[in-house]
Homo-oligomer: A and B are copies of this chain.
Amino acid sequence: MEQGLIQLWASTGIANFTMGSVVMIIISSLLIYLAIAKGFEPLLLLPIGFGGVLANIPIAEIAGPEGLLGILYHSGIETGVFPLLIFMGVGAMTDFGPLLARPSLMILGAAAQFGIFATLFGAVAMNMIPGMEFSMADAAAIAIIGGADGPTAIYVASRLAPDLLGAIAVAAYSYMALVPIIQPPIMKLLTTEKERGTKMSVLRHVSKLEKILFPLTLLLITILLLPSATPLVGMLCFGNLLKECGVVDRLSKTAQGELINIVTIFLGLAVGSKLAADKFLNLETIGILLLGMVAFSIGTAAGLLMGKVMYRMTGGAVNPLIGSAGVSAVPMAARVANKVGLEANPQNFLLMHAMGPNVAGVIGSAVSAGVLLAIVG
């Protein structure tokens, strides 16, 4: 009996906790709290946080190669399958109509990607801090946080820096949730009251045919110029074609419904498996969080400045605020642009105009991911 009691005690959590796992469980619980109480991207941060708790339980080894989370990570993230299926679902959920109604605004979605590449320098510079060591691949994986797109960040990190994936995913989704806090000050700093009050003309109606041809056009260009971006862009286009073609509604409904829900649950838990103390509790993570914030801010600023250029060039036909939506973070960033616009002018509804740059930003980060994977990967 004693022997049994000893064996049982030896198998309790209390007897086996390490400081690190305790801290990680607390951090993971914080993510759960933020997801539920503060509405921080709950669809992902809740499963990620819960996965983080499970991953740090001693003995159980739920994140080990034979544990549920380990199996999910191995089969869904190492392979890239989960982020790609999420991207298909995103495509099936996205209406590119606003972008097609005024294609020129896509430039804003391009400019905002500056945040990604500028962050590379920050990451490299951190190598000067003793104890920090980021390879070029690490730097690229961290920089993609600036893409403000979850599946893209997870996909790139899983290929370039799996060890940093946990911190990168957490940073990406946290900052997407913080967009309403991060962006407005930058928006107000870089734009004048008059600019913010600019109203934009109603969008033209976009025909069904244009919507069907769009994903095919995008895929074609990506194939010709940047094949390394085609896994991401391809699945986005596939999902969108399912949605727009109108002949496979049952597949479209599934891709944007039950399938993306199932994959989201699995993806979240699997990402959580990377919140293990040894991989997360280190200087690098602090660096990643800082760099992610920088990336978001620079991306926002770049989008706004390009917005001001277009404001000038179009003689005030474009409200610079929608430039900040270019970072993607769909649809949060577009809503923020709309909100700030309303503050400046109560008749100023920017939401639909901001959706264009917003979804263009998704394409922009997928393209950026392709470049990073082609050169660094």
Contacts and interface: CB of A to CB of B under 8 A. Distances in A.
Interface in A229-283: 230-231, 234-235, 238, 241-242, 245-248, 250-251, 253-255, 257-259, 261-262, 264-265, 269
Interface in A158-204: none
Interface of A is mostly: helix
A305 interface: no
A290 interface: no
A25 interface: yes
Interface stretch (A77-85, A94-102, A144-152, A346-354): A77-85
B80 A13 contact: no
A103 interface: no
Contacts of A84: 68
A120 to B, nearest CB: 13
A129 interface: no
Interface residues of A, number: 71
Given A241-B50, A374-B11, A80 B62 contact: no
Contact of A262 (B223, B248, B254): B254
Contact of A58 (B42, B219, B227, B269): B227
A218 to B, nearest CB: 12
A224 B13 contact: yes
A12 B254 contact: no
A66 interface: yes
9 contacts: A11-B227, A13-B224, A13-B225, A13-B227, A36-B247, A54-B230, A62-B234, A71-B81, A251-B264
A10 to B, nearest CB: 9
A247 B12 contact: no
A35 interface: yes
